[in-house]
Amino acid sequence: MKKLTLVFSLFVLSGLSVLFAQAVVISGTVTSSVEGEGPIPGVQVVVKGTTIGTTTDIDGNYSLSVPEGTETLVFHFVGMKTVEEKIEGRTTINVVMEPDVLGIDEVVVTALGITREKKALGYSVTDVSGEELARVKDANIVNTLQGKVAGVQITNASGAVGASSRLLIRGINSFGDNQPLWVIDGTPISNRASGAGQWSGVDYGNDAMDIDPENIESISVLKGANAAALYGSRARNGVVMITTKKGRAREGLGVVFSSHTTFDNVMFLPAYQNDYGQGVNGSEYIFNLRKEAGSIPADMTYQEYAANYGFKYVDGLGGGVFDGVDESWGPRLDVGLLIDQFHGENQPWVSHPDNVKDFFVTGVNSSNNLSITAGSDKVKGRLSYTNLYQTGTIPNTDQKRNTINATTTVNVGDRITAEVNFNYVNTSNDNLPGQGYDVQNVMQSIGGWFGRQVDIKLLEEHWEEWVTKPNGDRYPYNWNSNYHNNPYWTVYKNTASRERNRVFGNAVLTYRLNDWLDLMGRYGLDYYNEFRKSVTYEGSNDKAVGTGGSFSQNERNRREINTDVFLNFDRSIGTDFEVSGNVGAHYRRYDYLYMYLAAAELTVPNFFDVANVKGTPSTDMYESHFETNSVFGALNVGFRDYLFLDLTFRNDWSSTLPKDNWSYPYPSASLGWIFTETFGIDQSFFSYGKLRASYAKVGSDTDPYRLTATYDSYTAFAGLTQFSFPGTIPPANLKPEMSTSMELGGEFKFFMNRLGLDIAYYNTVTNNQIMSVEVSRSTGFNNMLINAGEIETSGVELLFYADILKSRQGLNWTTTINWSKSKTMVNELAEGVESYTLNSTWSPTTVEARPGEPFGQIYGVGYERDENGNKLVEDGFYVKTSGAPVVCGNIMPDWVGSIRNDFRYKGLNLSFLIDAKWGGDIYSVTKWFGDYAGITQTTVEGGIRENGIVAEGIDVNTGNPNEVAVAPQSFFSDYWGATEPAVIDGTYVKFRELSIGYDIPVQNLGFLRNLNVSLVGRNLGVLYLDESNDIRIDPETGYGTGTTAVGIEQYQIPPVRSLGFKIRAEF
């Protein structure tokens, strides 16, 4: 830190010495060349090669102090051709801008926050405007990018409020982290995700969801290492660069109010059956078999059988007939049976088809934003406040967020610009739902292990009541007391709360040395403190009466500092060459502190304080620190505005690596060639053509403290401390991971830009993967940390758009298609390592990387097949494979794509987005245990509970098609131990977004300048699912944001459909 302060003071001092240098004020008006459009507000006026600049006011006027010696001003405006004006001694410069029909002067934000013309780039960058993001808002900004960027794949972790989302750019590069870096106004911020695990937990979201789309001017997605080489290690997986809205020079205040409210409902639920209720052996098939076998009297009625052999409630603990069972293999519903149930004796045995649906409620997602902008040419500022209030579709779940965003830019003299970006975000939740295969996840009971006859209304009405069992024990009112809580008890009693206070932002000082050189210093901070507390009440299924209940709470402090200093240059050499670039240095410091305490039992029931612990509280503390240093440089050379070469170089030093490997350098190069310009091709047909090629290397470090073995500690046993040697053999000499990427692409526009195509092919090879490989447990260890292996991802991205209708006064229709395909192969692992387990779930299923195979193979026990691919059947059951695990699927999708249509007619606009993921298998526990437990539609279809199920396949005993019928409950319980029946194809097509907006004419109202109302919808429907997904789970959902968290589903919270309205008013 001391060194840093020194650098800064020197930096500031060097700037002060020229504070009083001569300056010239230039002013003027910018107008449009299009008839009737007049002055253009919001045009960026910049001193060429610097960040010194201003924007035009509402009347198109600007005024700018420029340093002595300034030669050229540059005028940028979206949709207009960029204008460069030589000053040549003038103090008034009026500019007429022409519409940019070809869109070739579009500017994008690139690495380090440097704005560049898109045409000059030799790699792929996609821009998404803030307007487009805010059109149909989601509480998580990641979700709003869905379907908007080719090559980006988004996975929402669940339908729970506050849930995290994962964003992958160009697929998988590593066995470790594949999340891109998030950068706001040049400073990296955390997007750490705290998703639920597959076995339990609460999804606390991903950190980037603290960003309010209303504050975003634009997002540039830098894809892959090529675009991101200058950000170093962390940008290997691409960068999401966010530029926030800033103040503008203008008269008076600009006030914008926007209000966005949607009503959220469950989009769809799994396909449950409503023909048979709770219990075992209740079907007519088994009833008849038993009669034939003589094990029940021949004259026994189905009513007698059902009430005495199928299901009879006594205590819900197994004391009656299958009343402890949470499966639906019981008697048939709706045929007039009377059976003892949890709510009374001899109750009608009838179906409640909406019992799961009725548990969910309508959530509200309301976001209100007020922003004020003001500014002169000296000082500009914007202040914005957002309040988000959200309730979930699961009762008693919520999220509240208050965001204050302030930016100020001050021009000190004509050489120094100071800018401060500040954000304060407070996020709080009273309760977030439990997820995973856990008693705290309501879907584990009502959506999985359930009596399909249960009337959820009864559970809602009586959840606060207690019942005394025949043995004298007390239990909360519920349909089953063996394995489950009443779902209302779970959501109202066993809460998981959170409060987070976060500050992030940066301070930037730019000092202009001369007309082609400036120096920039930036100090960025991202800090938060987060507090979480989970409580479980006595009487819950895992906290019987007498235990007092339990709780756990933890606090975490995370701080990251990013400082950089760099020198930018930009000058013309002769008339043909334009040279720009930078050299700089970067310092990063990361600190993390964590404290945890928990009580497994309490003395005073339900008093959740550590002083009240029964026994020993569990405690934990953890801290983590590391630093990285870097130097970097970039050189961009442009030749005659059609040939562009970029070279970058970076060297990182990371404290997490062994001393000898702290330092690692890597380069990149890219070339862009606008051949239509070179050859002067006629623009009316082939309007614009550009080819791109690039190559980059990026190194990557590891987490701290991985170099030496340290003992694991355990809660003391009767006061005796316990340690064990870790299960991972530490690495001998860890080296940085290295990714090498190349990209080839082209951009082609036709018919004066009415039709456009952007295509890219890329290939990334990552080797020296830092990975923890499994070793034979006979070595006395579970894993070994090594540097080895090679994975290769290649893919194609396609962006196509067409302005099908274009008319200034009439109907406009634009179609945009994004499509991308990526494939990751595991080329090699370490010597002697045949398999790397990426994830594992219910035994025997694992997700693996094996040499020569695609990444993400689902391995496990499948079904044996004959040479024609028919499944083999023995005694009515499928024959499971034995011995080595077999491939049962692959979690990686074949392709993702989207199609967007925008219509505009005068003040009315309509846009909708449909997106799809094709392929990518999912190991679905909802399907697996849903069939096992007899709750799914599959388990009743085709009259199988009356006649038995005849498995489709070849009988190994006869060689002919199987004819042996077995009881469905036996057939589906044979799923246990097999992987194949749980694997479904994760294909989906979804109606993702809809917005119908209208600009209400407000010309007559002086105070109101713009008023837009729109109807907005997200996730409106699922248009297609693969037939193997007969359970109808949402295939988009994974349980978290980890690399392989997709592909495994365990009682997902159902997806949410949002429909609402938005009002935006500008004053």
Contact by Cβ (8 Å): 473, 539: no
Q: How far is the CB of 717 from another protein (least distance, A)?
A: 5
Considering only residues 624-653, where is the footprint of another protein by CB under 8 A?
624-627, 629-631, 651, 653
218, 220, 541, 1029: which one contacts another protein (CB under 8 A)?
Answer: 541
Q: How far is the CB of 282 from another protein (least distance, A)?
A: 9
**630 or 987: CB nearest another protein:** 630
714, 811, 1010, 1024: which one contacts another protein (CB under 8 A)?
Answer: 714
Per-residue contact string for residues 1000-1019; x = within reach of another protein by CB under 8 A: --------------------
Strands (E), 483-576: 496-514, 517-536, 550-573
4, 361, 597, 671: which one contacts another protein (CB under 8 A)?
Answer: 4
H or E segment and range at residue 143 = helix 141-144
Q: How far is the CB of 900 from another protein (least distance, A)?
A: 44
**514 or 740: CB nearest another protein:** 514
Q: Which residues, including other chains, have CB under 8 Å from residue 357's CB and lie 6 or more apart? A: 266, 269
Cβ-based neighbour number of residue 357 at 10 Å:
16
Residue 296: what are its φ and ψ, rounded to 5°?
Answer: -130, 155
**541 or 648: CB nearest another protein:** 541
Q: Rounded to whole angstroms, how far apart are CA atoms 813 and 807?
A: 9
33, 91, 779, 1010: which one contacts another protein (CB under 8 A)?
Answer: 779
Considering only residues 339-398, where is the footprint of another protein by CB under 8 A?
none
How many residues touch another protein (CB under 8 A)?
Answer: 101
Does the bond joining 844 to the residue before it have cis omega, within 30 degrees of 0? yes
Give 233's Cβ-side CA count (13 Å radius). Answer: 27
Q: Is 357 left (phi over 0), alpha (psi -120 to 50) or beta?
A: alpha
| 619 binding another protein? (CB under 8 A) | no
Contact segment (CB under 8 A) with another protein among 397-405, 410-418, 780-788, 905-913 equals 780-788
Contact segment (CB under 8 A) with another protein among 120-128, 527-535, 721-729, 796-804 equals 721-729
Per-residue contact string for residues 550-579; x = within reach of another protein by CB under 8 A: ---------------xxx------------
**82 or 629: CB nearest another protein:** 629
Residue type, 537: Y
Q: How far is the CB of 6 from another protein (least distance, A)?
A: 9
| 720 binding another protein? (CB under 8 A) | yes
| 5 binding another protein? (CB under 8 A) | no
Contact segment (CB under 8 A) with another protein among 65-73, 396-404, 610-618, 890-898 equals 610-618
Tokens of 82: 């960029």
Which 8-state DSSP code applies to residue 602? B
5, 22, 468, 778: which one contacts another protein (CB under 8 A)?
Answer: 778
Q: Rounded to whole angstroms, how far apart are CA atoms 337 and 706?
A: 64
Q: Which residues, including other chains, have CB under 8 Å from residue 292's CB and lie 6 or more apart? A: none
| 970 binding another protein? (CB under 8 A) | yes
Considering only residues 865-884, where is the footprint of another protein by CB under 8 A?
883-884
Give 69's Cβ-side CA count (13 Å radius). Answer: 10
Count of residues making up the chain: 1067
Burial, 723: exposed, middle or buried (Cβ in 10 Å; 0-12, 13-18, 19+)?
Answer: exposed
**259 or 618: CB nearest another protein:** 618
Q: How far is the CB of 898 from another protein (least distance, A)?
A: 39
Q: Rounded to whole angstroms, how far apart are CA atoms 485 and 459?
A: 10
Per-residue contact string for residues 312-331; x = within reach of another protein by CB under 8 A: -----xxxxxx-xx------
Contact segment (CB under 8 A) with another protein among 27-35, 420-428, 768-776, 908-916 equals 768-776
Query: Helices in 809-950 by DSSP H: which ranges?
Result: 925-932, 944-947
**92 or 957: CB nearest another protein:** 957
Considering only residues 816-845, where is the footprint of another protein by CB under 8 A?
832-835, 843-844
Contact by Cβ (8 Å): 173, 696: no
**117 or 627: CB nearest another protein:** 627
23, 383, 583, 1063: which one contacts another protein (CB under 8 A)?
Answer: 583
Cβ-based neighbour number of residue 1019 at 10 Å:
25
199, 639, 711, 1024: which one contacts another protein (CB under 8 A)?
Answer: 711
Considering only residues 236-295, where is the footprint of another protein by CB under 8 A?
280-281
Q: Rounded to whole angstroms, how far apart are CA atoms 571 and 420?
A: 28
Q: Rounded to whole angstroms, how far apart are CA atoms 861 and 981?
A: 9
Considering only residues 456-515, where is the footprint of another protein by CB under 8 A?
471, 482, 513
> % helix / strand / coil in the chain, to the nearest 5?
10, 50, 40
The single residue listed with the structure tokens 């009405």 is: 461
Considering only residues 1029-1058, where is the footprint of another protein by CB under 8 A?
none
Q: Rounded to whole angstroms, how far apart are CA atoms 219 and 216?
A: 7
Q: How far is the CB of 481 from another protein (least distance, A)?
A: 10
**487 or 689: CB nearest another protein:** 487
Q: How far is the CB of 600 from another protein (least distance, A)?
A: 4
Considering only residues 873-932, where is the footprint of another protein by CB under 8 A?
883-885
Considering only residues 652-691, where is the footprint of another protein by CB under 8 A?
653, 655-656, 659, 662
59, 106, 473, 774: which one contacts another protein (CB under 8 A)?
Answer: 774
| 197 binding another protein? (CB under 8 A) | no
**322 or 801: CB nearest another protein:** 322
Q: Rounded to whole angstroms, how far apart are CA atoms 856 and 888?
A: 11
**715 or 827: CB nearest another protein:** 715
288, 547, 678, 740: which one contacts another protein (CB under 8 A)?
Answer: 547
Which of 422, 445, 418 is CA-nearest to residue 434?
445
The single residue listed with the structure tokens 């794949």 is: 153
619, 722, 807, 958: which one contacts another protein (CB under 8 A)?
Answer: 722
- Helix then strand count (H, E) for the chain reads 13, 57
Give 344's Cβ-side CA count (13 Å radius). Answer: 7
Give the Å distances, CA to CA, from 13 to 414, 596, 858, 1054. Answer: 16, 46, 61, 59
| 616 binding another protein? (CB under 8 A) | yes
Contact by Cβ (8 Å): 878, 951: yes
**426 or 482: CB nearest another protein:** 482
Furthest CA-CA distance within the chain: 112
